[in-house]
Amino acid sequence: TVVILDFGSQVSQLIARRAREANVYSELLPYDAAWSEIVKREPAAIILSGGPESTLGDDALDCDPQVYASGLPLLGICYGMQLLAKHLGGTLVPLDHREFGPAQLTVDRADSALFLGVPHESRVWMSHGDSVTQVPPGFTPLAHTGRCAIAAMGDDARRTYAVQFHPEVVHTEAGTAILENFLHTIAGIAASWRMDSWVDDAIAKVRAQVGDANVLCALSGGVDSAVAATLVARAIGKQLTCIYVDTGLMRKDESAGVVAAFRDVLHLNVVHVDAKARFLARLAGVEDPEEKRIRIGHEFIAIFEEESKKIPDVRFLVQGTLYPDVIESKTPDSKAGHKIKSHHNVGGLPERMALNLVEPLRALFKDEVREAGRVLGLPNAIVERQPFPGPGLAVRIIGKVNDATLATVRDADFIVTSEIDAAIAEGKLSPRPWQYFAVLTPVRSVGVMGDGRTYANLVGVRAITSEDGMTADWARLPHDLLERISTRIINEVPGVNRVAYDITSKPPATVEWE
Ligand code: XMP
């Protein structure tokens, strides 16, 4: 394992990803993790991340002093470089002007193990306000940029290296090579971390954790719960019961597909609860988006609890918690933001159920979950499923949710998804947008169909590109594809006479309209 101590840089997570891409297992810990916590990971090397603060103040963020004395290979990045300089006897000064953005790196010591195979000149990404002006005893300056005389330094004997730029971001051309040099050549860590062995290991751990108790899982159809459930089922078989609460708010044929995939293909034990009537009753007349979300969340929990009482000796609940949800950052800029909407998903089950959690995916990033799903043999339709909000189509109907509005949005959505999927299959659209769907609005407008006047609803079409759903841009869909979607919706979906394409990014909009 490589332990990355997180001093709060926006890109710390990327260091962990890059290490894993180099087949080295890595974990991000808060910068002030106790040495006893760090050694539990059996680290083969430690990386000190960047951070938004200055190391020059008296109360500068720092890690456990044992890190510096550990004798382990160390790599300091940006703030981490300055910390190493500060502790090991170098000199640091604040810059008059912060250096931010691209810079040209010149390697001065091509013989350094850190720069094996790195071109003499390459582009790097900088973001710093202080600079090392004199290296600590034992260190050699290894590279510079126009504005930073010591952009990298190293002490071969101590296997301690530092870079002022960010090798983890894609804008640093040789970043991957530099990180791999540190991990493989300097720290001597083999590229042996593989998803298939991780999966075997995870299965063994689940078995050890639950023993012979019964375990519950709330299936949503989403990738995370699907992979978590399948992995747990591999470990304990029929001791696992998956509850699929069918809210009636799913897309066309979706619930039947999810249940069939898990029962017939993956042979999981699935309870299909048809709760459509209950959800529709709860939602009757409700127009406020937040009120919809809250009611759906409460109803879901109530139903799940009722169902779980029917199963004897349940002591565990499976959750598809992922690594980004686990990472706790203690840095000052990580204050919780404003509440935009109450996200509901199967992870929101209450603690009062008094069940222990089984969270087999806690160590994985989203793309790794997909890979684990493939290793476990999940069908592509599940592994590549686009994110779908817990409250389902209810938040894609602006206004009242009932059988009629659900039928309309479902039919329109089916046209949007099947046309976009077809365009992808025919090679006319690439890459696949992150999400694409229809929204039913209560806006009505005048139209003419045949010889008659219409006064019917507006459907919004949304397709976005995104890395993580946190920010998004609208997808530049080909005009002929938009045309086909629009024509089909007007011709095939009763009650709709106008289609608009949403060309708003997030922010300022959100992905879902509610
Ligand atoms: P927003 O609309 O907040 O959506 O920009 C960001 C991403 O989250 C999905 N989403 C949800 N996922 N429960 C979920 O599990 C929810 O309540 C929920 N609301 C939105 C949305 O589809 C997008 O991918």
List pLDDT tens digits, range 394-410: 999 999 999 999 999 99
CA–CA distance, 119 with 174 (Å, rounded to integer): 8
Query: In the structure, what pLDDT confidence band is assigned to residue 350 with cuts at 50, 70 and 90?
Result: low
Question: Looking at residues 235-263, what average pLDDT do you find?
Answer: 96
Select from 2.70.70.10, 3.40.50.880, 3.30.465.10, 3.40.50.170 the CATH code of 2-186.
3.40.50.880
Mutual orientation of helices 195-210 and 223-236 as an angle, nearest 10°? 60
Domains 195-383 and 397-501 share a fold: no
Residue whose CA is closest, atom 4 of ligand 1? 511
**Does residue 392 line the site of ligand 1, with CB under 6 A?**
no
The sign of the CA dihedral 86, 89, 94, 100 is negative
The tokens for 40 are 């539990």
Q: Are 461 and 416 in contact (CB under 8 A)?
A: yes
Q: Tell me which of 225-229, 452-456, 470-474, 497-501 is least confident.
A: 470-474
Q: Tell me which of 289-293, 340-344, 354-358, 418-422 is least confident.
A: 340-344
**Does residue 276 line the site of ligand 1, with CB under 6 A?**
no
- Phi, psi at 252, each rounded to 5°: -55, 130
Known binding-site residues for ATP equal 220-226
Q: Tell me which of 44-48, 98-102, 454-458 is least confident.
A: 98-102
Residue 329 pLDDT greater than 60, yes or no = no
**Does residue 389 line the site of ligand 1, with CB under 6 A?**
yes
- Phi, psi at 357, each rounded to 5°: -95, 140
Centre of ligand 1 to C-alpha 276, Å, is 21
- Whether the ω angle into residue 507 lies within 30 degrees of 0, i.e. cis, is yes
- Whether the ω angle into residue 431 lies within 30 degrees of 0, i.e. cis, is yes
Question: Looking at residues 127-133, what average pLDDT do you find?
Answer: 91
Count CB-CB contacts under 10 A for residue 194: 13
Question: Looking at residues 417-445, what average pLDDT do you find?
Answer: 97
Query: In the structure, what pLDDT confidence band is assigned to residue 163 with cuts at 50, 70 and 90?
Result: very high
Q: Looking at residue 455, what is its pLDDT?
A: 98
Higher confidence at residue 110 or residue 332? Answer: 110
- The catalytic residues are 78, 166, 168
The sign of the CA dihedral 60, 125, 507, 469 is negative
- Phi, psi at 139, each rounded to 5°: -95, 155
Question: Looking at residues 419-435, what average pLDDT do you find?
Answer: 96
Q: Are 296 and 279 in contact (CB under 8 A)?
A: yes
Question: Looking at residues 192-213, what average pLDDT do you find?
Answer: 94
Question: Looking at residues 287-309, what average pLDDT do you find?
Answer: 95
Beta strands in 379-505 (DSSP E): 435-449, 452-466, 472-474, 496-501
Ligand 1 site-directed mutation target among 439, 511, 514, most atoms within 8 Å of CB: 511
Q: Looking at residue 327, what is its pLDDT?
A: 67
Angle at 212 between CA 239 and CA 260, to 5 degrees: 10
Instruction: Work out the burial of residue 395: count CB atoms within 10 Å of its CB; fewer than 13 is exposed, 13-18 middle, 19 or more buried.
Output: buried
Centre of ligand 1 to C-alpha 4, Å, is 29
Average pLDDT, the chain: 93
Classified as helix, coil or strand, 356 is: strand
Classified as helix, coil or strand, 429 is: coil
**Does residue 373 line the site of ligand 1, with CB under 6 A?**
no
Centre of ligand 1 to C-alpha 392, Å, is 10
Select from 3.40.50.1390, 3.30.300.10, 3.40.30.10, 3.90.320.10 the CATH code of 397-501.
3.30.300.10
SS3 content of the chain, % helix, strand, coil (to 5): 35, 25, 40
Model pLDDT for residues 58-92, shown as the tens digit of each residue: 889 999 999 999 999 999 999 999 999 999 999 99
Q: 0.90 exceeded by the pTM?
A: no
Domain residue ranges in the chain: 2-186, 195-383, 397-501
Fold of 195-383: Rossmann fold (3.40.50)
Q: Can you tell me which residue has the tokens 């002007």? A: 97
The percent of residues in the chain predicted with pLDDT above 70, rounded, is 96
CA–CA distance, 261 with 243 (Å, rounded to integer): 14
